[in-house]
Amino acid sequence: MPIELISGAIGLILTLLIFSYLIGDNPLFRSAIYIFIGVSSGYAAVVVWQYVLMPKLFQPLASSTDPSQLVFLVIPLVLSVSLLAKLSPRISWLGSFAMALLVGVGAATALSGAVVGTLIPQSRAAMNAFASLNFSDLLEGVVMLAGTVLTLIYFQFSAKRAADGSVRRNVIIEILAWGGRVFIAITFGVLFAGVYMAALTAMLERLSSVINFVKPLLGL
């Protein structure tokens, strides 16, 4: 049996299992989800082993003769092994330091990436737009600058306690924050539309694959 026929049959079965969710949550749909999660986890484990652990940890440990290099290799090995302690509640504290280090480095990397890769270039692009004498460029710059400033003001949470005991923000800040909510809503709408279009494209591709697979079997 050709490999194309086998892969096509597997794709057809999995597609039908996923589409069975249209009649409600059922064991067939859950089976497809479990297969997807298992395959994804297995693929991720193989990638980590093949491209991270083996070439950057175990092979250097086996071949290195430099004591200073061995120290720098043993430290990540010990931290990685200590994370396995999280599997047991009794000794989970052994992995707390490695987990804290992992979360801290990840948060710092994400924050610096957001500032350097998004906030600063967006602010610079908004300011550069004002250097142009073209009306469309000026309008684009005004919208970009207003969206950046108003969105940042929306996340300004300082407030004063009123005479009646309630906590309220300044009226001007509240109005500007409402403008920030408008920009955030527009952004979420655009992102949702993009995700929806991507999902719709994937569904049409899957239906097309199913039709092209079934046609020869039916003699059409």
SS (H, E, C) the chain: CCHHHHHHHHHHHHHHHHHHHHHCCCHHHHHHHHHHHHHHHHHHHHHHHHHHHHHHHHHHHHHCCCHHHHHHHHHHHHHHHHHHHHHCCCCHHHHHHHHHHHHHHHHHHHHHHHHHHHHHHHHHHHHHHCCCCCHHHHHHHHHHHHHHHHHHHHCCCCCEECCCCCEECCHHHHHHHHHHHHHHHHHHHHHHHHHHHHHHHHHHHHHHHHHHHHHHHHCC
Is the pLDDT assigned to residue 190 strictly greater than 80?
A: yes
Crossing angle of helices 171-218 and 3-19, in 10° steps, is: 130
Q: What is the pLDDT of residue 212?
A: 80
Q: What is the pLDDT of residue 193?
A: 93
Determine the Cα–Cα distance for residues 135 and 125; give it in Å rounded to an integer: 16
Q: In the chain, where are the structural domains located?
A: 1-63, 65-119, 130-220
Query: For residues 70 and 44, which has the higher predicted lDDT (pLDDT)?
Result: 44
Q: What is the pLDDT of residue 1?
A: 54
pLDDT tens figures, 45-104: 999 889 988 888 888 888 877 777 777 888 888 888 888 888 888 888 888 888 999 899
Q: What is the pLDDT of residue 47?
A: 93
pTM attached to this predicted model: 0.62
Q: What is the pLDDT of residue 167?
A: 63
pLDDT tens figures, 129-163: 777 667 777 788 788 888 888 888 888 777 666 66
pLDDT tens figures, 103-122: 999 999 998 888 888 878 87
Q: What is the pLDDT of residue 26?
A: 87
> Please, which pLDDT band fits residue 166 given cuts at 50, 70 and 90?
low
Determine the Cα–Cα distance for residues 85 and 73; give it in Å rounded to an integer: 20
Token pair, residue 79, equals 């931290």
> Please, which pLDDT band fits residue 39 given cuts at 50, 70 and 90?
very high
